Amino acid sequence: MRDEQRKSGLEAYIKDLVLTGSLLQDVGAFFKLHGDLATWDHTLKVTSHAVRIARLYDVDPMKAEQAALLHDISNVIPVSLFLETAHEAGIKVLDEEHAYPRIIHQKLSRVMAEQLFGVDDPQVLDAIACHTTLRAKATRFDKVVFIADKVAWDHAEEHAYLNEIRQLVDEGHLDQAVLVYLNHVWNQRGKLKLVHSSLIQARAYMLEQKEAAEDPAKRNLRRMFQHMDWSNHQILEVLDREQPEGDRVIKLFAHILSAEAIWISRIEGKRVQAAVWPDHMQLEDLRILVSENRDRFSCYFDEVTPEQLRQPVTYVTGAGAEYTTEPVDILMHVALHGSYHRGQIASLLRMEEISPPATDYIQYVRQLERKE
């Protein structure tokens, strides 16, 4: 009885529509019935890309067409009614979705596809339900529908990453294309209303899979820099809690972080803006720099190839001398440089009778094992 009540609530959106059995015609008529020609135009573009991409990656193009045609059908529902409609349809709504209801549209579209258009294929329904955020352990079919939705967007000139995604898709690198988008969203998280937990989980899972398949040398370097970021946060915690006298610890920590920023700029071929020994930095400045450095090195490791790690880069020091060095050696220097100076910070803290954080690499590995 409850299922019939839920269905009858959604059927109000299709009551004046006579289904023909042709999904293309029926979805088109559905959007026209509700006066939503903009979403219909977008849907046609997504469908065209979904079928093409499905064929590229040996995925059923007919199922891809179904999922693409139905992925945004909930757009006919006013956003102001999303929460109410979702609850009536028996959809589990997360706390984050209560705060930003627009994201529920992918779940609503799934239910509408099943109840209003008679779709019962779990593969199609699951892809619709994660077409905006993706999900952990996403299937290839999920990724095809997900990325078709992104490459169909207009205004690529305003979003350069879309051109990169399109090129990767056409060259046969579906996972890389998906990660470019997920990383873009992650890097914009401070500016967005919501980065959905499903997207975070999808990105984390794909990065884990990518790291597991990485060249051992690159994987070890990445782990060293994850340890570096963890160590920086350990120091931040102590400085937050203890606030040592004078500025020697702050200056030394600022030097570590500034050196990290300088070297990643040199590797990326960008102009160096940071000073080697920056003045007048406050704890909040250091916290921001820790976050920025983590994101920059993380993005670098996501994109760099083992071959590129051995391609020398040329840079100019603050004294004006020009050098050419392989990135792998630069990265080793940055990691060892930070460890050396963190040892000095530990000594300075002990002189003030403050217990320093344990930042040894083995401590980092042990806390990872405890989490697992």
Query: Do 364 and 226 share a structural domain?
Result: yes
- Residue 251 pLDDT exceeds 50: yes
Query: Do 195 and 129 share a structural domain?
Result: yes
Name the pTM for this structure. Answer: 0.66
Choose one of 157, 188, 212: the last residue of a domain: 212
Q: What letter does residue 54 receive in the DSSP assignment?
A: H
- Rounded Cα distance between 233 and 238, Å, is 9
Which two structure tokens, joined as six digits, stand for 60? Answer: 């059923």
Q: Which residue reads 């627009």 in tokens?
A: 102
Q: Report pLDDT for 8.
A: 52
Choose one of 212, 236, 263: the last residue of a domain: 212
- Band of residue 371 on the pLDDT scale cut at 50, 70, 90: low
145-160 tens-digit pLDDT: 999 999 998 765 567 7
Query: Do 111 and 33 share a structural domain?
Result: yes
Phi, psi of 370 (to 5 degrees): -65, -35
Q: Which domain holds residue 200?
A: 2-212
- Residue 333 pLDDT exceeds 50: yes
Choose one of 212, 241, 266: the last residue of a domain: 212
38-53 tens-digit pLDDT: 999 999 999 999 999 9
- Residue 26 pLDDT exceeds 50: yes
Which two structure tokens, joined as six digits, stand for 111? Answer: 């239910």
Q: Report pLDDT for 5.
A: 40
Query: Do 223 and 200 share a structural domain?
Result: no
Q: Report pLDDT for 141.
A: 98
Query: Do 226 and 176 share a structural domain?
Result: no
- Residue 351 pLDDT exceeds 70: yes
Query: Do 278 and 146 share a structural domain?
Result: no
**Is 42 assigned a ligand-binding role in the annotation?**
no
- Band of residue 266 on the pLDDT scale cut at 50, 70, 90: very high
Q: Report pLDDT for 158.
A: 62
Query: Do 280 and 182 share a structural domain?
Result: no
**Is 155 assigned a ligand-binding role in the annotation?**
no
* Domain harbouring 301, CATH code: 1.20.120.450
Rounded mean pLDDT of 197-220?
90
Q: Report pLDDT for 214.
A: 78
Q: Report pLDDT for 4.
A: 45
Q: Report pLDDT for 332.
A: 96
- Band of residue 367 on the pLDDT scale cut at 50, 70, 90: confident
- Residue 336 pLDDT exceeds 60: yes
* Domain harbouring 16, CATH code: 1.10.3210.10
Rounded mean pLDDT of 108-126?
97
Q: Which of 37-51, 52-66, 205-219 has the lowest mean pLDDT?
A: 205-219
Q: Report pLDDT for 69.
A: 98
- Higher per-residue pLDDT: 219 or 265: 265
Q: Torsion over CA of 346, 349, 351 and 353, rounded to 10 degrees?
A: -120
Percent of the chain with pLDDT over 70: 96
Query: Taking all residues of the chain, what is their mean pLDDT, rounded to a whole number?
Result: 92
Query: Do 223 and 162 share a structural domain?
Result: no
Query: Do 171 and 49 share a structural domain?
Result: yes
**Is 98 assigned a ligand-binding role in the annotation?**
no
Q: How many structural domains does the chain have? A: 2
CA geometry: angle at 255 spanning 251 and 260, to 5°? 150
Query: Do 122 and 251 share a structural domain?
Result: no
- Rounded Cα distance between 180 and 33, Å, is 37
- Band of residue 15 on the pLDDT scale cut at 50, 70, 90: confident
Query: Do 71 and 34 share a structural domain?
Result: yes
Query: Do 235 and 279 share a structural domain?
Result: yes
Rounded mean pLDDT of 268-296?
92
Chain centre to alpha carbon of residue 269: 24
